[in-house]
Amino acid sequence: MKEVKVLASTPYSVYIENNSIEKVGDYLQTAIKKPIKVLVVTDENVSALYLKKVVESLQKSGYKTFTCILKAGEGTKSMENFSKLCSVSASLNLTRDDALLALGGGVIGDLVGFTASCYMRGIKFIQVPTTLLAAIDSSVGGKTAINIEEGKNLIGSFWQPCLVVYDPETRKTLPKEQFLCGVGEAVKYAVLAGGRIYDILSSGKIDENFEELVELCVIEKAKIVHQDEKEHGVRKLLNLGHTVGHAIEKLSNFTALHGLCVAKGLYLLAKAQRFEGSISEDCFNKIEKMLNTYAFDLEIPYSVEDIVKEFVYDKKSVDGGVSLVKIKDIGDCFVENTAIDCLGEFLSCK
């Protein structure tokens, strides 16, 4: 078992252990001893695989459980489901002592976390991620959000979980492209942090080093969240590849998967920086090779002009500029405020 402590304003532990999905109740005992009520929220795919195990484990540890099963997919991060979860919580008389538990990927985690931050001005929140992406990114650090028609993640909050439990065995039921989405975020950490994360990813031996890889990514995220919980500075680094990635997601009407778009965004950035001369040929080759190891489709079916138009609506853009995360070398990235007007030229390598 691996434990990573996240020293946010309210500290908590992330536990990574095979078959921990059957021990969520035991882990919850480390965070909340009282026999509280727990509303377990999940999606249709995950419920069929893991809901029973989680519920049985919680009950065995003395918690009173309730369940809510939502449709799978990005559309679930909606105002309607936020409202539904608030009503379900109220009808169960949940109080601030009780908890909402997100069992699933980043969609369920973001929606349930946001609801937990608002219901009764904030109740306890537990993350049991079941995708690689959620394990190494969205379940840690307290960013929560839902989507509205005007944009993705536009309504959200910072609300830390009190516990995160990840069972690496759950990767075995993940559809291949969903696993690849997680690898896209792991490549982001490899470029940001370098070192062992880069070594594992560039070797192509993820499966052999899976638990260690998850632990190292979570440690990187925890370090950054500890320094800058509310994203005033260093946390922006976690958006490496995301500026272009989000634009692609939006242009696809959210049919393209987040982690796959991050990989495309990272590649376009690296290509543009190679052209600009701000990264070495060697650094570019390392990034390209790492992405090719996992056969990411790096084609972007949109023009640079269309991508740049999307930046104007990005919630991270301010006064005609965006905080673009750029690469110096593997393990060395920085944030640069860049005028949107200059990005077209930069990204089209002109």
Is 295 strand, coil or helix?
Answer: coil
The residue whose two tokens read 């419920």 is 47
Catalytic residue among 23, 77, 236, 246: 246
Q: What is the DSSP letter of 252?
A: T
Catalytic residue among 143, 171, 250, 264: 143
Alpha helices in 61-209 (DSSP H): 79-91, 106-118, 132-133, 176-193, 195-203
Is residue 196 flagged as an active site residue?
no
- CB 92 to ligand NAD: min, Å: 24
Instruction: Kindly give, in sequence order, each residue whose CB lies less than 8 Å from that of residue 241, ignoring residues fewer than 6 positions away.
Output: 184, 188, 262, 263, 265, 266, 269, 325
Interface with ligand GLY (CB under 6 A), residue from 141, 182, 184, 259: 141
Instruction: Kindly give, in sequence order, each residue whose CB lies less than 8 Å from that of residue 280, ignoring residues fewer than 6 positions away.
Output: 329
Q: Which does 235 bind (CB under 5 to 8 A by kind): ligand NAD, ligand GLY, none?
A: ligand GLY
Is 144 strand, coil or helix?
Answer: strand
Site for ligand NAD in 95-114 (CB under 6 A): 104-108, 110
Beta strands in 12-142 (DSSP E): 12-16, 37-43, 64-70, 99-104, 124-129
Is residue 149 flagged as an active site residue?
no
Interface with ligand NAD (CB under 6 A), residue from 51, 85, 141, 219: 141
Q: Which does 77 bind (CB under 5 to 8 A by kind): ligand GLY, ligand NAD, none?
A: ligand NAD
Q: Which does 61 bind (CB under 5 to 8 A by kind): ligand GLY, ligand NAD, none?
A: none
Is residue 231 flagged as an active site residue?
yes
Is residue 33 flagged as an active site residue?
no
Paired tokens of 266: 């990272």
- β-partners of residue 127 are 102, 164
Is 126 strand, coil or helix?
Answer: strand
CA–CA dist 100, 107 (Å, integer): 15
Q: What is the DSSP letter of 255?
A: -
Using the rule CB under 6 A, is 49 a contact of ligand NAD? yes
Is residue 264 flagged as an active site residue?
no
Interface with ligand NAD (CB under 6 A), residue from 127, 130, 160, 243: 130
Interface with ligand GLY (CB under 6 A), residue from 235, 246, 264, 286: 235
Using the rule CB under 6 A, is 131 a contact of ligand NAD? yes
Q: Does residue 70 contact residue 76 with C-beta atoms inside 8 Å?
A: yes
Paired tokens of 257: 């998967």
Smaller CB separation from ligand NAD, 141 or 304 = 141
Q: Provide the residue count of the chain.
A: 350
Smaller CB separation from ligand GLY, 216 or 238 = 238
Interface with ligand NAD (CB under 6 A), residue from 94, 123, 181, 307: 181
Backbone angles phi, psi at 77, to 5 degrees: -80, 60
Q: Which residues bind ligand NAD (CB under 6 A)?
A: 43, 45-46, 49, 72-74, 77, 104-108, 110, 130-131, 133-134, 137-138, 141, 143, 153, 170, 173-174, 178, 181, 258-259
Q: Which residues bind ligand GLY (CB under 6 A)?
A: 137, 141, 143, 235, 238
Any idea which residues carry the catalytic annotation?
121, 143, 185, 221, 231, 235, 239, 242, 246, 258
